[in-house]
Structure 1
């Protein structure tokens, strides 16, 4: 049974590192949550390390700039691992060919920035769908539109046998009080139509491998038993932690706040019903990171 806790500090002692989600846990897409900031600062002040593990479909430098603009203090984290970085490595090694049809918003085009760590990278270039070898999806063109609006284009892509590289497996995200569609919704639609979708963010292994490399680069790599994953996505953060055999802290006040009845804390009966329905059990749960 999932244990409901009052604070990160209550359970921090057995852990040397956090794999901490961003959106819905540390910020709302506009500004940081003060209690979450304080919790991460206290965790690091105890000599522990925080890796921000995010399904953002961009490289870590882009995410770092976004966090600085948002006002997240730099003493809340040690390194960043993004779904975008894991997916970019796959693209530049040829996972979806050289001629790419791009799906996403203009700010997502940093996905195509050069990746120097790849030796002899594939010379990818953007082309119309009709000429493409594959698709890179950083999200729908309009995050407020129903993803099914993309069905005609995806049907053509499926008929051409194009693989779709999903740079962000999240289905939805909440920007303040507004819910937006993410690349995971497009990839799920494509897979449901019989297309091939390739995933690199949570809950899939590549991003956890990247997070461990980021942690090791800091000079230490604790065993998985001493890493705690923090996130608000039951099907991404928590499912991924279970797959990696890592303990998890479920932030119920994010994507699942209605299902779990969360105000300050989740309603125990609703939390139990929710995790039973999803058949994914977090180690711990808390309303908001604090």
Structure 2
């Protein structure tokens, strides 16, 4: 391996430079169907040497269901310390609207987001007053719908001056071998059509503040950003967010951008460097999949 190589064989090459890791979940640890065994080993080995690992995900629900999902997929609890979700950040924001009626756009599984908020949650906007709030966690059915299916609905909501809170900034995620539309794509279109949108989660600051706060609680001392590594596969979310927050980045290239860099398991370094430069981003290192 060239000393100046961006692409590394494993986390062990740089692990000693860091005390803490903020690691993306979907696209790095699993693809919605299968766990990446290399990620299990890498994060477990990092913790074995005294490092702390906080998982940071744009999942639109508070973190308890994410612990359950990881367990069901076979990702072991000893590979990480705690989880911070976009839903955790959204939950905190929704408390300011206690007693209000909000319109939910997303699957039923995301209703745990509202537990304890004191909100009246409806899925039919006719039951909510004009000028209200939409909370978007995804598509109602991401197996069959596309963002275009929502445009007529959005025209009516915008005409009634609804604002949207987007609880998951991701545009797409991998589910097995397919790409699935996420809430970020709906928020993008709502804004493009003239709607007011507030987007939470990566790449925005509040989720990083909360995740760094977790590292501080775990270590008992202030987090030194120069000793924290962010790991992710999404350029507009994981990589941009970490870069904007002044964190070193390990870019996992075989995730949602896997087709952009040549052979998925052997990415072309120059293509990776060019894409990062074109996006105005930097990475400490890259590898196709997280491994030790």
Q: Same fold, TM exceeding 0.5?
A: yes
> 1:117: which partner in 2?
none
Partner of 1:258, secondary structure, is helix
Provide the rounded CA distance (Å) in 1 between the counterparts of 2:89 and 2:123.
22
What is the count of residue pairs matched by the alignment? 283
Deviation at 1:262, TM superposition (A): 4.0
Q: 1:82 pairs with 61, 85, 90, which one?
A: 85
Once the two structures are superposed, residues 82-106 of structure 1 have per-residue CA deviations (whole angstroms, 9 ceiling, x without a partner) of 00110111112129x8111111112
> 2:232: which partner in 1?
231
Once the two structures are superposed, residues 193-251 of structure 1 have per-residue CA deviations (whole angstroms, 9 ceiling, x without a partner) of 11111111000011111112222222233211111000000000000011100000000
> 2:94: which partner in 1?
91
Cα 1:262–1:124 shift into 2, 3 Å = farther
Q: 1:51 pairs with 24, 46, 54, which one?
A: 54
1:130 lines up with 2:129 in the alignment: no
Deviation at 1:127, TM superposition (A): 5.5
> 1:191: which partner in 2?
191
TM-score, normalization by structure 2: 0.92
1:102 lines up with 2:98 in the alignment: no
> 1:244: which partner in 2?
245
Work out whether residues 53 and 80 of structure 1, in 8 Å CA contact, stay in contact via their aligned partners in 2: yes
Partner of 1:89, secondary structure, is helix
Deviation at 1:122, TM superposition (A): 4.9
> 2:34: which partner in 1?
31
- Match runs of 1:85-234 below 5 Å: 85-94=88-97, 98-114=100-116, 122-126=118-122, 128-132=124-128, 133-144=132-143, 145-218=145-218, 219-234=220-235
Provide the rounded CA distance (Å) in 2 between the counterparts of 1:9 and 1:196.
44
Work out whether residues 99 and 127 of structure 1, in 8 Å CA contact, stay in contact via their aligned partners in 2: no
Provide the rounded CA distance (Å) in 2 between the counterparts of 1:285 and 1:34.
18
Work out whether residues 28 and 174 of structure 1, in 8 Å CA contact, stay in contact via their aligned partners in 2: yes
- Match runs of 1:50-69 below 5 Å: 50-69=53-72
TM-score, normalization by structure 1: 0.93
Provide the rounded CA distance (Å) in 2 between the counterparts of 1:124 and 1:223.
41
Partner of 1:198, secondary structure, is strand
Provide the rounded CA distance (Å) in 1 between the counterparts of 2:121 and 2:20.
38
Provide the rounded CA distance (Å) in 1 between the counterparts of 2:72 and 2:185.
27
Partner of 2:250, secondary structure, is strand
Provide the rounded CA distance (Å) in 1 between the counterparts of 2:124 and 2:26.
32
Provide the rounded CA distance (Å) in 2 between the counterparts of 1:215 and 1:122.
30
Provide the rounded CA distance (Å) in 1 between the counterparts of 2:241 and 2:34.
26
Provide the rounded CA distance (Å) in 2 between the counterparts of 1:135 and 1:216.
33
Provide the rounded CA distance (Å) in 2 between the counterparts of 1:220 and 1:32.
32
Deviation at 1:278, TM superposition (A): 2.2
Partner of 2:17, secondary structure, is coil
Partner of 1:281, secondary structure, is coil
> 1:118: which partner in 2?
none
- Match runs of 1:234-273 below 5 Å: 234-273=235-274
Provide the rounded CA distance (Å) in 1 between the counterparts of 2:174 and 2:242.
22
Provide the rounded CA distance (Å) in 1 between the counterparts of 2:97 and 2:221.
32
